[in-house]
């Protein structure tokens, strides 16, 4: 019977533009009522021992009410963060569910206002986490786009490049004598440089698995050992890296 009453009451609410305006006005009213009532309830629940210090009065009560209103106004944001469809049900006038959603909404407003500081702090922390995640995702997407662009440039260089002399060296000879010892990162960098004649620092960093801001230092160290050498792109004239004869000789056979 109660479900029938809810359905009939929901069906009686105007639809269209008038219904939406009524829903908006009702939500705003519930936010105000929930914020004030919840804030006042928190004020009453506060330890009244503080009244002995003369801090239990109008100004302190006002702080509870203001915090309650702020927390209550954050409830729609909270519902959006948790992907709840309560407001969607309210504004789309779903039969049999609208009044129930109103009750749930005002209950959330009361709880938020009663625990205003904790609720606002939780919302703030969650928003900051989402902002950080969005920033990390954007940075990762930009890095992947840069790597894809650098790979395209390397392919273009490879098409216009002549065969690298270092790749045509014999299996033995003076170039392999006194080859410097390689650490794991340097070995991976040399192997990355054998994939194409001209490599970008970004492409090498991706193959080696090190951050882009570290690969420059690694390549400079390897260049000082004579393992790699900076060169110029035959297509864009940008800076590229290539393996040297000494670098070929240092690779494991």
Q: What is the distance, to the nearest Å, from the Cα of residue 192 to the centroid of all Cα atoms in its chain?
A: 31
pLDDT at 97: 65
Q: Taking the CA of residue 209 as centre, how many other CA atoms within 13 Å lie in the half-sphere pointing to its CB?
A: 5
Contact 69, 113 (CB under 8 A): yes
Domain boundary assignment for the chain:
2-114, 165-250
User: In 3D, which of 231, 230, 229 has the Cα closest to residue 248?
Assistant: 229
CATH level 2 (architecture), domain 165-250: Orthogonal Bundle (1.10)
90: left (phi over 0), alpha (psi -120 to 50) or beta: alpha
SS3 content of the chain, % helix, strand, coil (to 5): 70, 5, 25
> pLDDT digit of tens for each residue in the chain (253 aa)?
434 433 444 444 444 556 678 888 888 999 999 999 999 898 888 755 455 444 555 567 888 999 999 999 889 888 888 888 888 887 776 555 678 888 888 889 999 999 988 888 888 888 888 788 888 788 777 777 776 776 676 666 555 555 444 444 444 444 455 667 778 888 888 888 888 777 888 888 888 888 878 888 888 888 888 888 888 777 777 788 888 888 888 887 6
Q: Report the length, in residues, of the chain.
A: 253
Torsion of CA 212, 215, 217, 222, to 10 degrees: -170
pLDDT at 155: 62
- Residue 165 CB neighbour total at 10 angstroms: 12
pLDDT at 48: 57
**Predicted TM-score of the model (pTM):** 0.47
């Amino acid at each position: 019977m109660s479900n029938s009453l809810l359905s009939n009451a929901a069906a009686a609410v105007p639809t269209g533009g008038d219904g939406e305006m009524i829903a908006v006005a009702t939500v705003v009213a519930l936010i105000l009522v929930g914020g004030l009532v919840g804030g006042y309830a928190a004020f009453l629940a506060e330890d009244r021992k503080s009244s002995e210090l003369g801090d239990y009065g109008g100004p302190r009560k006002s702080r509870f009410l203001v915090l309650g209103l702020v927390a209550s106004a954050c409830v729609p944001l909270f519902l959006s963060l948790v992907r709840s469809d309560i407001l969607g049900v309210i504004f789309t006038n779903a039969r049999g569910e609208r009044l129930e959603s109103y009750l749930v909404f005002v209950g959330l407003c009361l709880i938020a206002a009663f625990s205003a500081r904790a609720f606002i702090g939780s919302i703030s922390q969650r928003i900051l986490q989402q902002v950080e995640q969005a920033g990390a995702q954007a940075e990762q997407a930009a890095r992947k786009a840069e790597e894809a662009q650098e790979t395209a440039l390397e392919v273009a260089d490879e098409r216009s490049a002549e065969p690298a002399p270092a790749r045509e060296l014999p299996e033995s000879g003076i170039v392999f004598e006194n080859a410097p010892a390689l650490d794991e990162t340097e070995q991976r960098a040399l192997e990355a440089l054998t994939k194409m004649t001209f490599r970008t620092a970004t492409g090498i960093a991706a193959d080696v698995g090190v951050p882009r801001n570290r690969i420059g230092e690694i390549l400079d160290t390897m260049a000082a050992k004579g393992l790699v050498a900076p060169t110029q792109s035959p297509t864009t004239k940008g800076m590229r890296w290539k393996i040297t004869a000494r670098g070929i000789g240092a690779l494991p056979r």
